[in-house]
């Protein structure tokens, strides 16, 4: 068990990639704070973890709201003690042509996808620094590496998280807390199924000829959450089936 006894928070754990990360971390012995705006989704995640013999609590919270994040962190600490691992996964990924993006849409996506990870990190980092050990893993996107049609606002948020991750990694490099990124390529989740993308046609364009599974993103997160990644910070594990092979 690679995360035995560690407390981990996974945001957006009520669906898709976040659920797979929460389940994998729990199988590795972590006590998981499974946070999501969608209370039903996160209750299902925790039920599955508990049935499999793992430990988790479901917390309904808007992970872009500082007061709700504080409350969610307090509930998680009360259940499991100090939080050592944070996965900033919650996000939205709409497709809107550039000139159709409204100011409200721009501000909403910046708040959820960029400000949310900032606020969650700000809430949880002090305890990690006190402990001299911590892991922050940010779920970015291969679209930050390659661009994505109809997603200027989305790609801008993920690019912001990329910069934030590297800046934090540098500022706290000697602290025992690491900051890394996992940018998924195209992964089979409810969000992807709702997107205007022909999945089968897209899969054929990928070197591996298939889209990814949420569990394959969780595997990369597990490495970055574990002791095995102790000398890795400010880095990217590109989980994309060979779609993008650059270094960023
Ligand atoms: N699926 C893909 O192909 C893909 C590709 C690249 C990046 N990603 C990223 O992976 C992450 C997860 O995506 P997914 O495909 O699993 O999506 P999903 O929609 O299946 O799951 C996202 C979860 O985040 C939650 N959420 C949204 N806003 C929230 C908020 N303000 N507070 C708390 N929870 C909130 C939703 O309720 C949902 O349960 C996102 O950050 C997404 O941008 C996904």
Q: Summarize the confidence of residues 209-223 as an average pLDDT.
A: 97
The pLDDT tens digits for 140-169 are 999 999 999 999 999 999 999 999 999 999
The pLDDT tens digits for 223-238 are 999 999 999 999 999 9
CA of 190 to the centre of ligand 1 (A): 9
CA distance 124 to 129: 9
Q: Does some domain include residue 105? A: yes
Check: CB of residue 27 under 8 Å from CB of residue 54: yes
pLDDT value at residue 248? 57
CA distance 18 to 11: 7
Does residue 198 register a pLDDT over 60? yes
Check: CB of residue 44 under 8 Å from CB of residue 36: no
Q: Does some domain include residue 241? A: no
- Sequence-distant (≥ 6) Cβ neighbours of residue 11 within 8 angstroms: 18, 35, 36, 63, 86, 87, 88, 89, 90, 116, 120
Tokens 């994309």 -> residue: 240
The total number of structural domains that make up the chain: 1
Is any atom of ligand 1 closer than 6 Å to the C-beta of 14? yes
Q: Does some domain include residue 171? A: yes
Q: Does some domain include residue 75? A: yes
**Is residue 154 among the annotated active site residues?**
yes
CA of 53 to the centre of ligand 1 (A): 25
pTM above 0.75, yes or no: yes
Q: Does some domain include residue 236? A: no
Q: Does some domain include residue 141? A: yes
Q: Summarize the confidence of residues 49-64 as an average pLDDT.
A: 98
- Which range marks the domain in which residue 172 is found? 7-229
Is any atom of ligand 1 closer than 6 Å to the C-beta of 54? no
Cβ atoms within 10 Å of 226's Cβ, excluding its own: 17
Q: Does some domain include residue 23? A: yes
The CATH number of residue 62's host domain is 3.40.50.720
The pLDDT tens digits for 77-101 are 999 999 999 999 999 999 999 999 9
Does residue 22 register a pLDDT over 60? yes
Counting from 1 in the atom list of ligand 1, the atom nearest the Cα of 42 is 39
């Amino acid at each position: 068990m690679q995360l035995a006894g560690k407390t981990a928070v996974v945001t957006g754990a009520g669906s898709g990639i976040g659920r797979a990360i929460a389940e994998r971390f729990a199988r590795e012995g972590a006590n998981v704070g499974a946070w999501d705006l969608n209370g039903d989704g996160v209750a299902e995640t925790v039920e599955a973890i508990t049935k499999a013999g793992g430990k988790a609590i479901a917390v309904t919270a808007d992970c872009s709201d500082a007061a709700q994040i504080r409350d969610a962190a307090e509930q998680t600490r009360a259940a499991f003690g100090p939080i050592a691992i944070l996965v900033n996964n919650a996000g939205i990924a709409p497709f809107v042509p550039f000139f159709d993006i409204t100011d409200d849409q721009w501000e909403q996506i910046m708040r959820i996808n960029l400000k949310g990870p900032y606020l969650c990190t700000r809430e949880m980092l002090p305890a990690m620094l006190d402990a001299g050990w911590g892991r922050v893993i940010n779920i970015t996107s291969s679209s930050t590496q390659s661009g994505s049609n109809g997603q200027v606002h989305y790609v801008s948020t993920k690019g912001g998280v990329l910069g934030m991750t590297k800046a934090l990694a540098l500022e706290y490099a000697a602290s025992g807390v690491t900051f890394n990124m996992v940018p998924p390529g195209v992964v089979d989740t409810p969000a992807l199924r709702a997107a205007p993308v022909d999945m089968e046609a897209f899969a054929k364009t990928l070197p591996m000829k298939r889209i990814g599974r949420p569990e394959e993103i969780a595997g990369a997160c597990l490495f970055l959450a574990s002791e095995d990644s102790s000398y890795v910070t400010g880095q990217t594990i590109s989980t994309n089936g060979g779609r993008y092979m650059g270094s960023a």
